[in-house]
Amino acid sequence: MRASQGTNQDEDKAVIKPLSHRVMSKHPLKKEVDDEVNEDSDEWEEVDPDEELVAEATKSLTHDNLESCMVHMHKQHGFFIPDVEYLKDPNGLLTYLGLKVKRDFMCLYCNDRCHPFNSLEAVRKHMVAKSHCKVHYGDGDDDEEAELEEFYDYSSSYVDEDGKQLIASGDMTNTVELGSAGSELIITTRSDNKISSKTLGSREFLRYYRQKPRPSPGNDGAITAALASRYRSMGLATVQSKEQMVRMKVMKEMNRSGVEATRTKIGLKNNVIRNLPKNVPY
């Protein structure tokens, strides 16, 4: 609607006339541009080379492509697995590291020493610019190494000068302890050449004890050996930690069982209320 003035005689009156209908023009130009973009997208696909550092580590890896994946990541990004000869779970380690970058936006080398980045692109650029495409491991930082200890096993290096296997002194004693759920009693018997354990449980869980689940395939040792062999063929040292650091890790692993037993004894002694009245005999 629009308002217009009439003649001079009708100066005090306002005449309202309807507006003429206007047809909204469509945008054929935008449609043509969209069609052109769709045609071009079918012909080519953009690939980000930095994505490989994360994608290769987070996907499901097998024995065949794990070796080639590690060779590619070392040549293109300088990434390698430290102390690979003692690695017991290569798939778990790579999945964990990949999730730290892709999901948590954290640098593998800076770790908790800096705040997480705002996006995956930001943490990628930081790692490439600072040459941080490597794991902060073997430098003596116990806090950062503790999160990766579950993927390593240094028990094969517990040998003396004569090549004999070393074990902690507390490992020769027979132990009786409760299971993790508190409903089982585990009896461990140690001798010179073997370690045997028996588990005593309640009758209410008898149907579970009778089950025989299929064991999971244990091919992690073969994967680790093949990866260590490939690293050596590339001229890369398989044990990246310093000799003193490796010795410290070995001693810490050997003394872990004794430390846990000592903590348990101290906890039992401290779990006593000593501020009782004098008339209480106990």
Q: How many angstroms separate the CA atoms of 169 and 73, rounded? A: 42
Q: What is the pLDDT of residue 43?
A: 43
Residue in 91, 80, 55 with CA at minimum distance from that of residue 133: 80
Q: Quickly tell me which residue has 């994505």 as its tokens.
A: 51
- The Cα–Cα gap between 155 and 122 comes to 39
Which residues, in sequence order, are CB contacts of 14 under 8 Å at separation 6+? 3, 4, 5, 6
pLDDT at 39: 46
Considering only 55-59, 96-100, 112-116, 121-125, which range has the smallest mean pLDDT? 55-59
pLDDT of 86 over the 80 cut = yes
Q: How sure is the predictor about 44, in pLDDT bands with cuts at 50, 70 and 90? A: very low
What local confidence, expressed as pLDDT, does residue 60 receive? 47
pLDDT digits (tens, 9 = 90+) for 150-172: 888 777 666 555 555 555 555 55
The predicted-structure confidence for 57-84, as pLDDT tens digits, reads as follows 544 454 456 777 788 888 888 888 888 8
Cα–Cα distances (Å) from 276 to 100, 183, 270, 272, 280, in that order, read 50, 32, 14, 10, 7
